Amino acid sequence: MLSVIIPAVLTVGLGLIIFTFTAGLKLGRMGRLANFQRYRVKAKWQLWLERWRKSEEATKAGRKLKEKLKLAGDPWGLTVFHYQAIKLILLLIWILYWGFIGFLRMSLSGSLEGAPIIPLTLGIIVIWLVPDIALSLLAKRRKTILLFEISRLSHRLTLCITEKSELREVILRAGRTLKVLKPYLHELSVQWNKNQYEAILQLGSRVGLTEMYPLVNTLVAVSHVERGEVARMLEQQVSNIDKTLEHEIQKKIENAPLLIIFLIMIPFMVVFVLMIYPWIAYLSDQLSTSFGGE
């Protein structure tokens, strides 16, 4: 029975991997025009793939993942679809690899003793959880840096802004030493001459932090209020961000013991798995012997 089920599972998994790779390929504009008559099915598959991508981003989990990727700085240009597809491909490769190894071991031993249950299970857990944990840590770290830089930008704007100074030059001067916010400010300066109002609004949407919107509203209001009032609004913005940073730091201090406990528990978990592994192997051998005897 196993000799039929395992090859079937491997074949299906291999087909899914090939489909995942080939479905994401895009034809060039000339290629689509030249092969439209011969490959109409490909165009339908592309439309179906596009609908699939949009449906992935439209779900609640997809929206949260999109926000987290944006907060992390869109590492390697990953989208929600690419992120989930990579995890799925790695998971299928891992299952196929250990499934093939287990099939060979069980074929040679004639029992379930050679089944790689523990490495297969541990690998699935690592592949499924570690990317999400790493992405969350990267997003939290980048959020803290952004909060610091927004606070520094607001504080320097209060120092640089004057009655005769141009707002674009003030923003660029205040953000000269920033690192994470600098690309956003450069994009703002590029779009400034086209539409100043839209450029400021897009600055807030690109950064993607709620703490950025009070600063955006202040910059929008610069042309409607006196510069002294703008300085007061910026100082209030700095005070609010400082309170947010204090809250973030306090939260990290409170969660530090939990992280330390988790790190301490990892060696004990490894020892526990190594201790119960012989019992699992013995139980598997007994079950295979019992079924073989029947």
How many Å apart are CA 83 and CA 24, to the nearest integer?
A: 13
- Single out the residue of 63, 246, 62, 230 nearest to residue 158, CA to CA: 230
- CA torsion, ordered 281, 282, 285, 287, to nearest 10 deg: -110
* Residue 16: pLDDT band with limits 50, 70, 90: low
Calculate mean pLDDT across residues 139-157: 86
Residue that has been written with the tokens 């998994």 in this structure: 13
Q: Looking at 1-10, 154-163, 220-229, 241-250, which range is the least confident one?
A: 1-10
pLDDT value, residue 291: 59
Q: Considering only 4-18, 39-53, 166-180, 252-266, which range has the smallest mean pLDDT?
A: 4-18
What is the model's pLDDT at position 37?
A: 45
**Residue 280: closest CA among 122, 130, 95:** 122
d(Cα 210, Cα 130) in Å, to the nearest integer?
A: 27
Residue 38 half-sphere exposure, CB side, CA atoms within 13 Å? Answer: 5
Half-sphere exposure of 123 (CA within 13 A, CB side): 16
* Average pLDDT of the chain, as a whole number: 76
Q: Does pLDDT of 158 surpass 60?
A: yes
Dihedral of CA 208/211/217/222: which sign? negative
Instruction: Looking at mean pLDDT, say which of 21-35, 103-117, 191-205 comes out highest.
Output: 191-205
CA atoms within 13 A on the CB side of 210: 2
Strand intervals (E) in the chain: none
Tell me how crowded residue 34 is: count the other CB atoms within 10 A of its CB. 12
| Residue range 211-233, pLDDT digits in tens | 788 888 878 877 566 666 666 77
Higher pLDDT, 180 or 40: 180
| Beta carbons of 6 and 103 less than 8 angstroms apart | yes
Token digits of residue 89: 């491909």
Percentage of the chain with pLDDT > 90?
Answer: 6
Supply the DSSP string of 122-163, one letter for each residue.
Answer: HHHHHHHHHHHHHHHHHHHHHHHHHHHHHHHHHHHHHHH--S
Single-letter residue type at 170: V
Is the pLDDT confidence value at 260 over 50? yes
For residues 65 and 75, give the distance between their C-alpha atoms in angstroms, rounded to a whole number. Answer: 13
Q: Can you tell me the distance from the alpha carbon of 75 to that of 83, in angstroms, rounded to the nearest whole number?
A: 10
DSSP secondary structure letter of residue 181: S
